[in-house]
Structure 1
Amino acid sequence: MNEIEKDRGPKFRRRAEARPDEVLDAALALFIEKGFAATRVEDIAKRAGLSKGAVYLYFPSKEAVLEALVRRAIVPIADSALQTLHDYEGDPRIVIGLVLNMLAARLSDPRILAMPKLIFREVLGFPELAQMYRREVIDRVIPAVEGLIRRGIDQGYLRQVDPSLTIRSIIGPLLLHVAMAELFGIMPEGGLHLDKLVDNHLSILFDGLSAPPSAKTWSAS
């Protein structure tokens, strides 16, 4: 290998390492503009500045591209939430507030916010996406949240509520907020403002969830 090739090697290796993300960025833009069904792999390749064959080197199908987009955007959020939820002892309202505010902050990134929009649009026509999302996000997060709620009930922080139904009450307003804007075009004045929604939601949620002071059995250190 001559000196020029040596100089070019790391640059080209870095370029190759970046290509999957370049493909995903191009696909995300096209899925938002045209929809999943109307976007062809050729379109993704052209937007990414690659050949169609190069796209297939990284992703075997258009469906695999969509799954990779969800993994890139959503799975790290689930991982962060699980790290916060894992074996937490004490007032669960603190953790619920932290997780929802973290979710609102992450969704302020348009590339991440685009993913729940795409899921709403495409999940009925692409059931494998729903299965993947359930496996990698829902089935991991729900048991951790249920455990948090049960501990909060046992320790007297929360009322005697159904943990499974309570999860729907916790996350439901955020999903509905995005769905109303994406599916029905009902956008609050000034935009989604997920941070304001979370503040409003937590105020209502905690007033309903909190046990009366006399019910608290012990204080976590």
Structure 2
Amino acid sequence: MPPLSPTSTPSQTATATKRERRKEARPGELLEAALDLFVEKGFAATRVDEVAARAGVSKGTLFLYFPSKEELFKAVVRENIAGRFAEWNAELETFVGTTSDVLRYCYKVWWERIGCTKASGITKLMLSEAQNFPEIAQFYQQEVILPGQSLVRRILERGVARGEFRAVNLDYAVYLVLAPMIFLMMWKHSMGTCVPDAQNLAPEVYIDTQIDNILHGLCVRPDATPTSPPPLA
């Protein structure tokens, strides 16, 4: 709290403190407003003055924190997705249990923290607009796609090393794990928005079904004939 000057009154001090708190909250409010608009309208159609208005600030204030729409979008991605990979990798390091348990936990956490939130709309945005914004696409590749693939690969490598999973081609098995997530995000922000009950798709049931199918293919079966592992690189 700012110190009282000889001429300040308690009400003036309270006002100053409130302004400081408001200033500290602005980046978060701008990121929240930007996420809403990027998911609702896409990257190209979202204007920075709309973001500022939704956050209750001027466009000039927005540019104090984020010098361009591209930098604003990057901050949204880091805040909602990319910034979580350190936490997820740390969880994998300390996880106690089978790799099948790891994979089930991975899907559960992804759905709770990304899939069922507005942040899942960023994936649809990127798939729709990447070709028109190569710089943004390259950023998303480095900050989200590659770290995500690396994390899934570590999980699969854990299973193979422990003798729980078959020695599959990890370069392609990664996509086997990611595909159900991508489908749900695309569904949620396309047909799921317009016709939510078209196929009575319950995301949690869908995820459980996909995990069972994936594990049935990955897990070593006692009666299986050993095969030479394909190259992992």
The size of the alignment, in residue pairs, is 215
Q: Write the deviation string for residues 172-192 of structure 1: whole angstroms up to 9, x where unpaired.
A: 122123224545678664765
Question: Matches of 2:58 and 2:221 in 1, distance apart?
Answer: 64
Distance 1:74 1:178, change over 3 A: same
Q: Which residue pairs with 1:99 in the alignment?
A: 106
Question: Matches of 1:191 and 1:63 in 2, distance apart?
Answer: 37
1:86 alignment partner, SS class: helix
Q: Which residue pairs with 1:24 in the alignment?
A: 31
Q: 2:160 aligns with which of 129, 153, 178?
A: 153
Q: Which residue pairs with 1:205 in the alignment?
A: 214
Alpha-carbon offset, residue 55 of structure 1: 0.7
Q: Which runs of 4+ in 1 moved over 6 A?
A: none
Relative to the length of structure 2, the TM-score reads: 0.79
Distance 1:173 1:59, change over 3 A: same
Distance 1:56 1:179, change over 3 A: same
Most deviating of 33-42 and 193-202: 33-42
Which segments of 5 or more consecutive residues in structure 1 lack a partner in the other structure? 216-221
Question: Matches of 2:191 and 2:85 in 1, distance apart?
Answer: 27
- Confirm or deny that 1:125 pairs with 2:132: yes
Query: AA paired with 1:123?
Result: A
Query: AA paired with 1:97?
Result: R
Which segments of 5 or more consecutive residues in structure 2 lack a partner in the other structure? 225-233
Indicate if the aligned counterparts of 1:105 and 1:195 stay in contact, CA closer than 8 A.
no
Identity of aligned residues (%): 33
Question: Whose Rg is larger?
Answer: 2
2:220 alignment partner, SS class: coil
Indicate if the aligned counterparts of 1:158 and 1:209 stay in contact, CA closer than 8 A.
yes
Distance 1:137 1:31, change over 3 A: closer
1:123 alignment partner, SS class: helix
CA RMSD of aligned residues (A): 2.6
Indicate if the aligned counterparts of 2:156 and 2:165 stay in contact, CA closer than 8 A.
yes
Alpha-carbon offset, residue 13 of structure 1: 1.1
